[in-house]
A and B are shown apart, each in its own frame.
Chain A
Amino acid sequence: MDRVNWWDEFATSWICLDVEIMPWSTKAQELLRQQYAPTGSSARESLAAAIRALMNEASRNGGNRELLSKPTKVYCRRRNSE
C-alpha cells in the first residue's frame, strides 16, 4: 500500500479490513478425500479388471473388440491426465 501511494491517494492514516475467512480449501480437501479420491481408486481398479477380462475374452475367440474400446478409452484418458 505504501508502494502504490495508497495513503496519500485516499488521504487517510488508517483502514479497516472487513474479511470473511471461508474454509473453502478445508471443505475441498474433505470432498477430495471422501468422494473424488475413492472414485479414482475404484475407477482405476475396476477399469483395469474389466480390460483384463475383455482382453482374455478377445484373445480367446477373436472376440469382442467393440466392448473393449470403451473401458480402454476411459482408462487411458485417466492415465494421461496424471
Chain B
Amino acid sequence: MLLTITTSHRPATDIGYLLGKNPNRCQSFSIAFGQAHVFYPLVGEEQCTAALLLDIDPVALVRGRRGSSGDSGLLAQYVNDRPYVASSFLSVAIASVYGSAMKGHTKDRPELAETAILLTAEIPAVPCRGGESFLRRLFELLGYSVQCRQLPLDKG
C-alpha cells in the first residue's frame, strides 16, 4: 500500500520539514503488522513528493489475527486485500510515522505549519462499497477535491 503526498508550494522540499522526514533519506519503521518505509520519489524546488509505503504480510495477519475485530471476517482469509488497499492499517501507520506532522509540530518551519498550502494525496486503491458518490460525500464535505476512478475487476 502506498500513500504519496505531493506539494507544489515553493520551495516544495519544505514538505520534508512538515512531515519530519528528510527528502534525501529513505527511512524504515517497524509497525505491529509489518514495515513502513518513507522515501521521496520526486524532489525538486517546484514539486516534491513524499511516499509512505506499507509492507503488510497477509499470512501473518491471518495467523496472528491482528487488526480490529470488525475486520475479523476478512482477516480469516489468506487471500485478502489488506496489503494492497488503504485501510485502518494505513491509518495506524500514518499516525505512527507522521504523528508529529498530524499534531502540527515542526521544529524548523513552524510558520509553514500554520500556512494553508496545496497538498495532493494519492492512494492506488481503496475498497468502497458505497462507490464514488460515498467517497465524494466523505471528503468533499471536508474541503477536499476528489478525483477517483473505479478499477475493473481482475480477470486473472
Contacts and interface: CB of A to CB of B under 8 A. Distances in A.
Given A38-B127, A56-B42, A67-B26, A33 B153 contact: yes
A37 B84 CA distance: 13
Given A42-B84, A46-B124, A46-B125, A54 B41 contact: yes
B79 A67 contact: no
Q: How large is the interface on A (under 10, 10 to 19, 20 to 34, 35 or more residues)?
A: 20 to 34
Contacts, number: 95
Interface residues of B, number: 33
Nearest to A36: B79
Interface string A6-40: 00000000000000000000000000010111111
B39 A64 contact: yes
A45 B80 CA distance: 15
Nearest to B44: A60
B1 interface: yes
